[in-house]
Structure formats: C-alpha cells, structure tokens
Structure 1
Amino acid sequence: MELRHLRYFRAVAEELHFGRAAERLHIAQPPLSQQIRQLETELGVGLFVRSTRRVELTPAGQAYLERVESILDAVDAAGQQAQRIAAGRQGALAIGCVGSATYSLLPRLVRALREELPELDVSVRGEMLAPAQLSALVAGQIDLALLRPPVNSDEVVVETIRRDRLFVALPEGDPLSSGDGVRVADLRDAEFIAHAGHGRSVMNGILASLCAAAGFVPQIHHEVEETSTLVTMVAAGLGVAIVPEPTASLGIAGVSYRPLVPGGPTVDLAVARVAGDQSPMISQVLTVLRRVAARSE
C-alpha cells in the first residue's frame, strides 16, 4: 500500500463516480479501478458497492474513509510545515534587547512579526546589556541581539539599523528642563545615574566620553543595569541620566527629557547574529526588522 492508493480511494469516495474521480486525479479510469481493487485485496474487504448505475461506500469503506482523510490531512500538513520551516516562515525565535529599544522598537517588531510571519514563536529578553546579549547569542540562547555598538567579537555579524539622538533625563522641575536643550557642560555639577560600568555598558562609556569632551568627570552616584530602574531613580530626584531618545517611550511620570546640544550627539542601535548563520528564518526576520526600524526613525 502506498499513499497514492489512499489518495485514489479518497477521490472515488468523495466523487462516488470512477470517471469523475479519474478526471480529478488526471489519470485514466481503468488504472484507477485497478488501484482500488488492489487496495481492497490488500485490506481483504470491499470498500465500494459497484453497479452500472451508481457507486456507494460499504460500511467498512465509510469507516476507512474517516481514517484515510485524517492520515492524508496529516501528511499534507507535515509537508506544508516542512516548506514553511525551509522558507524561514515557521520556527522558534528568541530576541535579546537593550533597555531603550525594549520599550520602543521591540513592541513594533513583535507586532510586525505576528502579522507577517504568524507561524513564528517569538520570545524576547529585554533589558539586556550588550555583553550579556553577546554571551547568550554565542551560546545559542538567543537568535538575534538588539544592542548598542561597538561590538568586538569575530563570532558575530553586526548591522546598524537605526541612529538615536541622545537626551538627558531630568527630574521634573529641574531648572535645566525649562530650555529646548541641554549642554553637557551644564551637567558638570550634576549627580548622575548611569548604566552599570566596568566595561559592561556602552552607555556608561558614552557618558564618560561626553563628559571628558566637556572637560569634567561625571559624578556617578548610582549604577543600574535596567533602563526602567534608571529612569525611575531620575523620577525620584536621585540624579540625572544620559539616555537614547526612545527611552522616553517608558512614560514614567516625574521625568523630563531634553536633547543634548549642540550638535545633537547620537548612538547607534544594531542587530547582531552569529557569524555564518544562513538560517532562512533569520533572513526573514531581518527583512522585517529593517523595515520596522526605518519607520521608527
């Protein structure tokens, strides 16, 4: 018995006419009749009652049809699933993300993936510092990393997808929040809340570089790993923070955001993947990501 025997049987059972079933299957009627007889011989039961005027299913044939439909539907579904996976349209995807993009780009990306690639099972790990993302990426714990460059690793490929302006987050009512922008030099005496340092945060390095260019060393009073915690501490009046513009998407009350001037310094947002990964799924997701990132600039 082969799958074609089951497909032939289903066609005849649905048409209840050998001629129409043969046309549907694009074969001649005599070979079709022969295949059905072979199937009945192998099973040892009659599946059809034939007469010159009509064809009917026997009770055994009716019961057999229910199982055959289930089998053929499962075979067709398995083939379709294999095709979707091979095309990168189905599978499990894990994305890591830095804090500021967690609250801006990531929600739009997940919505777009749900609409365009509904068979993907997407999971996210937000509020991850770049080193943690790189470790997870190389270990196979995530498939894509949304992070801030630079990235010094030969094991991954990095692509810049967006450039964000840098803002200063100020406690509401701070005198500096009344202007259209803030100079880094104006923050000389400020108490800073920063992302965790010791080489673990790109933003920590950016803060040090900006302040050095303005001629001072920042007074860092608190270091945190999560952007949401950082902004919450600003709202509590514990200090100020340099953040990418999308951080404002958090919408935490008690914080004012002002762009850094002059020149409007920026920080890149990039996507990283394991070098040599030719997965069709990753290619599909990157296409969606580039489009979503371009719209959000």
Structure 2
Amino acid sequence: MELRHLRYFVAVADERSFTHAANRLNIAQSPLSKQIRQLERELGVELFTRTTRSVALTYPGTVFYERANRLLTESDEAAEEARKADRGELGALSLGFTGSATYELLPTLVRAYGDRHPDVALRVQSDMVTPAQVEQLLDGRLDVGVLRPPVAVSGLAVEAIRNERVVALLASRHPATVKSEIDLADLRDDWFISYPDHPPSTMYSIMISACRTAGFTPKIRQTVTDSAALVALVAADMGVALVPASLRHLKVNDATFRPLGSPQLSTALALAYRDTAVSPLVRRFLETARTVVRSRDAVETPTAPEITDDDRPTIGV
C-alpha cells in the first residue's frame, strides 16, 4: 500500500463519485477504479458499495477513512517539516554569549531571530567566557558562540562582526568621575578588577598592554569571569576596570562608565562556529546576527594600542 492509494481512496470517499474524484486527482476514471480495487484486494475488505448511480463507504471503509486521513495529514506535515529543516527554519540551536553581549546584543538578537524563526528552539547560555565557549563549540554542546577573538583553534570559523570602544569602569564615588573622559595614566595608583588571566583573555591582555603603554603595571585585586560580578565589585569600590562599552547596558547602582581619552582602545566581537559543516540552522542564525548588527549601526573602529607577543591572548573573553 502506497500513499497514492490512500489519496485515491480519500478522494473517492470525499466526492462519493469515481468521476468527480478522477477530475479532482487529474487522472482518468479507469485507472482510479483499478487502483481502488487493488487496494481492496490488498486489505481483504470492501471499502465501497457501488451502484450505477452512487458510491458509499462500507463500515470497514468508514474506519479506514479516518485512519487514512490522519496518515495523509501526518505525511504532509512530515514533508513540510523536512523542507523547513532544510531551510533552517526548524530544530534546536545552542548559543553562547560573552558577558557584555549578554546584556546588550543578546536581547535584540534573540528576539529578531525568534521573530524570523518561531519553530526553532533556542538554548542560550549567557555570560560565557571564550574558553568555555570554545570547549563547548568543539564538543558540540554549542552551535554558535558570540565571543571576543582572537581564537586560534583548529576546527572553528571566527567572523568578526563588530568593533567597540573599551571604556573605564569606576565606582561612582571615584574622584576621576568628575571628568568627562579619563587618561589611563590617572588610574596608575588604583587597584584593578580584571577578567581572567589564565589563559589570558582578550580584555586582560588589552588592559595589561594599555597600562604598560601608559607607563605602569596594573595592580590586580581580583579576577572574575562573570561580567555582572565585575561591575558589582567596581561599584563596591574594590577597584577599577577596563571593559567593552556595551557593558554599560548592565546598569548597576554606584558604577560609572567613562570614555578613555588616552589611550583609545577597542575590542572585537565575533561569531564562532564549527567550520566542518555549517548547518542550515547555523547559517540562518549567522545571517540574522549580521543583519541585526548592521541595523544597529554599532560598528566602531577606534585605534587600539598594539598588543605585544608577551601580552597577546591565546583565547578571548
């Protein structure tokens, strides 16, 4: 028994006429009658009672009609789901977001992607440092990471989508907040709260290089992987920090952001994914991410100080 036999049977049952069913199916009446007879022989039951003027379902035919309709509906749904999966419109996608992107880009990007692809289930892990994202990308727990390069790992494609300024984060009571912008050298006597130094993260390396350019080595009181914890520690006047400007979207009382007058710094944000086989789901997410970033007109390209070989991170935050 094939699906076409079910379609022929349902058409005859609906139309109560071989002639009308043949017209609906765009086939000749004789082959249609032959196919129905073949189906009845295969099932071993009579599906229709026939007279010269009418066709009616038998009781077994009525029972079979309900199941046949259900099977045809499910087969149509299965075919449509297969086509949607091929277009990247159905399935589940695991995403990782670095700290600052968690508070600024994640809401807009997830909402935009959800609006375009409502049948895709998103599994989001937020405030993930790059080493954790890289590990989970490589073992398949993440499909796409939104992280800070550089990432020199075989098997991953890394696509920069934004450059943003690095700014100073200070407690609101800090004396330097009276200025509209801050020279990094003015913070030489402060304690610093830092992103991880082992392995050295992008933000850690930018901080070390910039401070050395400003003529000092920063005194690091504490390192944290969680951006919210970093901002909270600064708000508690435990130290100052250098952070991506997008972290300002995490609003915490008693913490203040100030642009740097000297030196001017920037950091990149990138999409990372396995380069072996880009699935339709991943491809559609990448397209949405590019569109969202462009639409926000968020790309900034200030000049960052050179990172020396000693300071260059092996993997980003």
Which TM-score band (shorter chain)? Answer: over 0.9
- The residue number in structure 1 matching 2:101 is 101
Corresponding residue for 2:272?
Answer: 272
Aligned length: 297
Q: C-alpha deviations, 1:173-210, integer Å up to 9, x for none? A: 32222222111112111111111212242111111011
Residue 206 of structure 2: aligned partner: 206
Report the aligned-residue RMSD: 1.6
TM-superposed CA distance for 1:86, in Å, is 2.1
Q: Structure 2 CA distance, aligned partners of 1:112 and 1:249?
A: 18
Partner of 2:71: 71
User: Secondary structure at the residue paired with 1:20?
Assistant: helix
Q: Bigger shift: 140-149 or 274-283? A: 274-283
Cα drift, residue 88 of structure 1: 2.1
Counterpart contact for 1:130–1:200, Cα < 8 Å: no
Please state if 1:185 is matched with 2:171.
no
Q: Is the 8 A contact 1:131 1:200 kept in 2?
A: no
Paired with 1:208 and 1:20, the residues of 2 have a C-alpha distance of 81
The one-character-per-residue Cα deviations of 1:3-35 (angstroms, maximum 9, x if unpaired) are 111011111122222222212211111111121
- The 2-side partners of 1:24 and 1:41 are apart by 24
**What SS does the aligned partner of 2:239 have?**
coil
Does the residue aligned with 1:24 lie in a helix, a strand or coil? Answer: helix
1:222 alignment counterpart: 222
- CA drift of 1:163 comes to 1.1
Q: Quick check: 2:98–2:127 contact (8 Å CA) kept in 1?
A: yes
Structure 2 letter corresponding to 1:148: R
Instruction: Determine if contact 2:210/2:263 at 8 Å carries over to the other structure.
Output: no
Structure 1 residue ranges without an equivalent (≥5): none
- Of 48-57 and 147-156, more deviation after overlay is shown by 48-57
Deviations 1:37-95 (A, max 9, x none): 22122222222233333332222222111111111112222222222222222222111
Residues 81, 90 of structure 2: 8 Å contact kept: yes
Q: Contact (CA 8 Å) 2:183, 2:263: kept in 1 or not?
A: no
Tell me what 1:197 maps to: 197
Alpha carbons of structure 1 residues 264 and 13: separation in structure 2 relative to 1, 3 Å: farther
Q: Helix, strand or coil for the counterpart of 2:253?
A: coil
The match for 2:285 is 285
Using the alignment, how far apart are the partners of 2:82 and 2:215 within structure 1?
A: 60
Query: Any conservation in 1 of the 2:96–2:144 contact (CA below 8 Å)?
Result: yes
Q: Structure 1 residue 220: deviation in Å? A: 1.0
Contact 1:89 1:281 in 2 (8 A): yes
Give the conservation status (yes or no) of the 8 Å contact 1:162–1:294. no
Matched, 1:250 2:250: yes
AA aligned to 1:166 is V
AA in 1 matched with 2:206: I
Contact 1:170 1:255 in 2 (8 A): yes
2:129 alignment partner in structure 1:
129
Aligned to 2:60: 60
Whole-angstrom distance in 1 between the partners of 2:185 and 2:289: 36
CA contact (8 A) 1:129 1:200 kept: no
* Stretch of structure 1 that moved more, 255-264 or 96-105: 255-264
Q: 2:259 is matched with which residue? A: 259
Aligned residue for 1:83, secondary structure, equals: helix
Unaligned runs of 5+ residues in structure 2 are 299-317
Query: Separation in 2 of the partners of 1:49 and 1:262?
Result: 92
Shift of 1:141: 1.5
* TM-score after normalising by structure 2: 0.89
Report the Cα offset of residue 229 of structure 1: 0.5
- Counterpart Cα distance in 1 of 2:47 and 2:153: 66
Deviation string 1:222-274 (CA, Å, 9 cap, x unpaired) is 11110011011111121111111111111222211111124642110011112
Give secondary structure in 1 for the equivalent of 2:39.
helix
CA distance in 2: counterparts of 1:277 and 1:60, whole angstroms: 50
Secondary structure of the corresponding residue to residue 152 of structure 1: coil
- The two structures have a TM-score, normalised by structure 1, of 0.95
Partner secondary structure for residue 210 of structure 1: helix
Residues 158/84 of structure 1: CA separation in 2 closer, same or farther (3 Å cut): same
In structure 2, distance between residues paired with 1:183 and 1:263: 7
Q: Which residue of 2 aligns with 1:158?
A: 158
Secondary structure at the residue paired with 1:160? strand
Secondary structure of 1:269's counterpart equals: strand
* Equivalent position SS for 1:92: strand
Alignment of 1:15-54 (within 5 A): 15-54=15-54
